[in-house]
């Protein structure tokens, strides 16, 4: 028994000495690394060779702090995409342990599913966010290790592994500073800290009030949503009635985002024929189709590093919807006629006034695209829900008109403002702007804008009989049908003028179908768009 005890102690002492010797060799290998990249690759090799882990990944936060990347790999992971557990661990500032079988069924991130697809379902995945162990405490990256649950816990919870992890983090931080990365890391941490504070968001909302006017509760909630949307890289879906300012909100999201210095490309999907829309978005190479005399970049390529805004996306053809979905999921696209795919790093903002859920039921819009676009949904309030903002909007539109037309400053009276607050606005803010432009144009120089300068609901507040009386001497009427036709033509002409030739809005304000209005315009030879 005594001899056996001595043999056991000697064996343990020998194993301990061997482990310490291996630890010294590991530390020496790490210390000899000259760059952060070399250190990460060496760390993974040691964990596989000496620690016995079969699956190891070491990811680093790139220079601008927006991506987690792997050395010698093209794939990048968005730090704001919380669906991926690596990004979630960084933002939560804590390690995670996942059972792979459960993770495969619950987590829907395609890159994560691809990376762990071939790993045994009974394994566990340990995710360790790595942070500098000095006074700066900047984030470095993520270490992910998978293996048998018992083996994983035994090794990773040991003091030796904690010492190994500490050494890696200290060396990584030192090498980062030596290679010029430290200043970028510190700047990133300071920027993220400022962005996430309440004061920073309040400041951004105040700056945004210059472009998104109003102090109502509805508009303040909207500005708060825009700030939150700008903090992420998620796809944004703007919904709301026509004329509520979706284009202005899209530009604000871009301006206050990390991509604010990048390009902002916009297109109205309803304004371009289906045959040309694909080329506008994806571009084409020379000879791709008849008339393609030279290659041309599409808006997706032009928006690389910035934002692409697709207005009226509800009118996009189904075939293009499928191609757009692939771009959103993979970041890759193929120009017309090209043989190889290309990559674009862009943020997508889409807008529509149409009820997309109803279009999905009618099989005119893809449900998978709708859910992909709606990662960050924003609904813009109609003007009737923010009537308190009408005076501020009206005065801003007056100033804009005077600046644009070179007129002396105009003032709108309180009586005119009261009349504006009592109106209905099917065209929302756009209708209010057109109304103010009309009133400014009708106001003589040097006079305030009063109620008489404002048209009534639509064009005139007069009754039909008053309008006929005002324009025609009723005693001279000899042909009633002709007089009615002339009055009807006058009303339609003025209504089209008011809505800048938009037959849809004009028809809605008159209470007739658009097709009926178009027929009357053709009969009366009225010039309209």
| Digit-coded pLDDT (tens) for 366-381 | 999 999 998 999 999 9
- Please check whether residue 200 lies inside any domain of the structure: no
Q: What Cα–Cα distance (Å) separates residue 126 from each residue in 53, 85, 229?
A: 12, 10, 31
Q: Of 143, 163, 191, which residue constitutes the final position of a domain?
A: 191
Asked whether residue 313 falls in the same domain as residue 167, the answer is no
Asked whether residue 278 falls in the same domain as residue 319, the answer is yes
Q: Which of 127-131, 165-169, 296-300, 491-495 has the lowest mean pLDDT?
A: 491-495
Asked whether residue 245 falls in the same domain as residue 377, the answer is yes
Asked whether residue 292 falls in the same domain as residue 149, the answer is no
Q: Which residue has the higher pLDDT, 372 or 526?
A: 372
- Please check whether residue 495 lies inside any domain of the structure: yes
Residue 111 confidence (pLDDT) above 80 = yes
- Please check whether residue 256 lies inside any domain of the structure: yes
Question: What's 222-236 look like in SS3?
Answer: HHHHHHHHHHCCCCE
Residue 86 confidence (pLDDT) above 60 = yes
* CATH number of the structural domain spanning residue 84: 3.30.450.40
Asked whether residue 174 falls in the same domain as residue 310, the answer is no
Chain position carrying tokens 């690759």 = 41
Q: Of 358, 381, 404, which residue constitutes the final position of a domain?
A: 381
- Please check whether residue 527 lies inside any domain of the structure: yes
Residue 219 confidence (pLDDT) above 90 = yes
Asked whether residue 77 falls in the same domain as residue 90, the answer is yes
- Please check whether residue 213 lies inside any domain of the structure: no
Tokens of 354: 């149409």
pLDDT band at 18 (very low <50, low <70, confident <90, very high): low
Asked whether residue 479 falls in the same domain as residue 432, the answer is no
Asked whether residue 478 falls in the same domain as residue 423, the answer is no
* CATH number of the structural domain spanning residue 503: 1.10.10.60
Domain extent, residue 486, equals 464-529
* CATH number of the structural domain spanning residue 281: 3.40.50.300
- Rounded Cα distance, 521 and 489, in Å: 8
Tell me what percent of the residues of the chain surpass a pLDDT of 90.
26
The whole-number pLDDT of residue 470 equals 44
Asked whether residue 488 falls in the same domain as residue 364, the answer is no
Q: Which residue has the higher pLDDT, 470 or 104?
A: 104
Q: Count CA atoms closer than 13 A to 476's CA, side-chain side.
A: 5
Q: Nearest-CA neighbor of 258 among 109, 67, 60, 59? A: 67
Identify which of 9-13, 105-109, 187-191, 356-360 has the greatest average pLDDT: 356-360
- Please check whether residue 434 lies inside any domain of the structure: yes
Q: Which of 145-149, 285-289, 452-456 has the lowest mean pLDDT?
A: 285-289
Q: Using an 8 Å Cβ cutoff, are 424 and 384 in contact?
A: yes
- Please check whether residue 87 lies inside any domain of the structure: yes
Asked whether residue 331 falls in the same domain as residue 234, the answer is yes
Asked whether residue 373 falls in the same domain as residue 519, the answer is no
Q: Of 381, 412, 431, which residue constitutes the final position of a domain?
A: 381
Chain position carrying tokens 């103010």 = 436
Residue 521 confidence (pLDDT) above 90 = no
Tell me what percent of the residues of the chain surpass a pLDDT of 70.
85
Asked whether residue 28 falls in the same domain as residue 139, the answer is yes
Looking at the structure of the chain, the number of domains it has is 4
């Amino acid at each position: 028994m005594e001899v056996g005890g001595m043999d056991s102690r000697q064996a343990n002492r020998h194993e301990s000495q061997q482990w310490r010797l291996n630890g010294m060799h590991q530390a020496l290998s790490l210390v000899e690394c000259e760059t952060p990249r070399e250190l990460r690759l060496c760390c993974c090799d040691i964990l596989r060779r000496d620690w016995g882990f079969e699956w190891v990944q070491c990811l680093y936060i790139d220079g601008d702090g927006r991506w987690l990347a792997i050395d010698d790999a093209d794939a990048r992971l968005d730090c704001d995409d919380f669906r991926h557990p690596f990004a979630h661990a960084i933002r939560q500032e804590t390690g995670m342990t996942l059972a792979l079988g459960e993770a495969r069924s619950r987590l829907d991130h395609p890159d994560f599913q691809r990376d762990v697809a071939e790993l045994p379902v009974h394994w566990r995945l340990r995710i360790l966010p790595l942070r500098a162990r000095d006074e700066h405490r900047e984030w470095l990256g993520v270490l992910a290790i998978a293996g048998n649950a018992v083996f994983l816990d035994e090794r990773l919870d040991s003091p030796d592994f904690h010492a190994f992890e500490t050494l890696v983090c200290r060396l990584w931080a030192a090498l980062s500073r030596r290679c010029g990365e430290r200043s970028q890391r510190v700047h990133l941490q300071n920027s993220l800290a400022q962005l996430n504070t309440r004061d920073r968001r309040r400041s951004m909302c105040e700056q945004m009030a210059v472009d998104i006017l109003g102090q109502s509760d509805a508009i303040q909630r909207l500005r708060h949503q825009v700030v939150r949307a700008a903090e992420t890289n998620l796809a944004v879906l703007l919904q709301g009635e026509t004329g509520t300012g979706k284009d202005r909100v899209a530009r604000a999201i871009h301006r206050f985002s990390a991509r604010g210095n990048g390009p902002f490309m916009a297109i109205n999907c309803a304004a371009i024929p289906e045959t040309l829309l694909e080329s506008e978005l994806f571009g084409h190479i020379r000879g791709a189709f008849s008339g393609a005399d030279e290659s041309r970049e599409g808006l997706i390529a032009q928006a690389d590093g910035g934002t692409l805004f697709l207005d009226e996306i509800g009118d996009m053809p189904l075939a293009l919807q499928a191609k757009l979905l692939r771009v959103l999921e993979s970041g890759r696209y193929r120009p017309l006629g090209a043989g190889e795919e290309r990559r674009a790093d862009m943020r997508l903002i889409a807008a529509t006034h149409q009820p997309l859920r109803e279009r999905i039921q009618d099989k005119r819009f893809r449900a998978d695209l709708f859910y992909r676009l709606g990662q960050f949904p924003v609904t813009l309030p109609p003007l009737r829900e923010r009537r308190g903002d009408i005076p501020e909007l009206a005065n801003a539109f007056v100033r804009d008109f005077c600046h644009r037309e070179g007129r002396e400053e105009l003032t709108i009276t309180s009586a005119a403002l009261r009349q504006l607050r009592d109106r209905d606005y099917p065209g929302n803010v756009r209708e209010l702007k057109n109304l103010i432009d009309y009133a400014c144009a009708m106001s003589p120089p040097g006079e305030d804008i009063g109620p008489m300068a404002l048209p009534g609901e639509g064009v005139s507040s007069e009754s039909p009989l008053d309008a006929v009386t005002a324009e025609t001497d009723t005693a001279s009427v000899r042909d009633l049908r002709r007089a009615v036709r002339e009055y009807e033509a006058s009303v339609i002409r003025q209504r089209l003028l008011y809505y800048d030739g938009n037959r849809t809005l004009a028809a809605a304000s008159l209470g007739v179908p658009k097709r009926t209005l178009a027929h009357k315009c053709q009969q009366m030879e009225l010039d309209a768009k």
